[in-house]
């Protein structure tokens, strides 16, 4: 994926790839709900507002070009699309309630200050995935909020549109 390579690899690494070096880029996502640093939890909870924190994740991006040592990527030159599967215990089963999700990212800037951002994304109820874009890799909190949903009579096929968006996004990342 040329776009992904441009966002992650340095000019020198891109030259190595152009000369035939193999490149491996992968994302590692770990549930750190029980091991989240206290200061990260405080930042995420303050940013969550009325939303409930469902879980904490450590999301890291790694790259390896040719025979070089694998390197962790903490920031990219542009956003990368990430898809996570929401655990069953965080999926709403009450049809009278609408659950919305958001991602809260906590990361350290170059001065060691914690920066907290809310990242909106798209929930796909067909496979319980949440898709969002990010350019930094660190601690993330999956937050949710339940709202009573009035019956509107709208029977449009929103699931189909979300599924198509998911398939298109996956295709773009794959390419």
Cβ-based neighbours of 158, under 8 Å, separated by 6 or more: none
Which pLDDT value is given to residue 166? 74
pLDDT band at residue 153 under the 50/70/90 scheme: low
Other C-beta atoms lying within 10 Å of the C-beta of residue 149: 12
Cβ-based neighbours of 161, under 8 Å, separated by 6 or more: none
Strands (E) located in the chain:
23-31, 52-65, 71-73, 75-85, 97-108, 114-119, 122-124, 129-136, 139-148
110 pLDDT exceeds 60? yes
List the beta bridge partners of residue 133.
81
User: pLDDT tens for residues 55-95?
Assistant: 999 999 999 998 888 999 988 988 999 999 999 999 998 88
Quick one: average pLDDT of 32-53?
94
Closest CA to 44 of 100, 94, 119, 95: 119
List the beta bridge partners of residue 106.
116, 139
Which pLDDT value is given to residue 10? 87
Which pLDDT value is given to residue 160? 67
123 pLDDT exceeds 80? yes
Rg of the chain over Cα atoms, rounded to whole angstroms, equals 18
State the alpha helices, DSSP H only, in the chain: 2-8, 11-18, 38-48, 158-174
State the alpha helices, DSSP H only, in 25-157: 38-48
149 pLDDT exceeds 60? no
Overall pTM surpassing 0.75 (yes/no): yes
Phi, psi of 56 (to 5 degrees): -115, 140
159 pLDDT exceeds 90? no
pLDDT band at residue 161 under the 50/70/90 scheme: confident
């Amino acid at each position: 994926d040329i776009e992904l390579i441009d966002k992650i690899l340095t000019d020198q690494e891109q030259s190595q790839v152009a000369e035939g070096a193999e490149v491996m880029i992968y994302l590692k996502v770990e549930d750190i709900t029980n091991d989240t640093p206290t200061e990260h939890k405080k930042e995420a909870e303050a940013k969550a507002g009325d939303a409930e924190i469902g879980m904490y994740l450590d999301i890291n991006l790694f790259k390896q070009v040719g025979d070089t040592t694998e390197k962790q990527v903490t920031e990219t030159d542009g956003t990368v699309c990430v898809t996570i599967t929401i655990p069953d215990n965080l999926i709403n089963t009450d049809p009278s309630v609408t659950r919305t999700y958001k991602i809260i990212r906590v990361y350290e800037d170059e001065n060691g200050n914690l920066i907290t951002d809310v990242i909106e994304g798209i929930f796909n109820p067909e496979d319980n995935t949440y898709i969002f874009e990010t350019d930094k890799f660190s601690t993330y909190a999956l937050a949710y909020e339940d709202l009573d949903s009035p019956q509107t009579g709208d029977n449009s096929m929103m699931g189909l549109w979300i599924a198509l968006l998911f398939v298109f996004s996956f295709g773009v990342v794959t390419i």
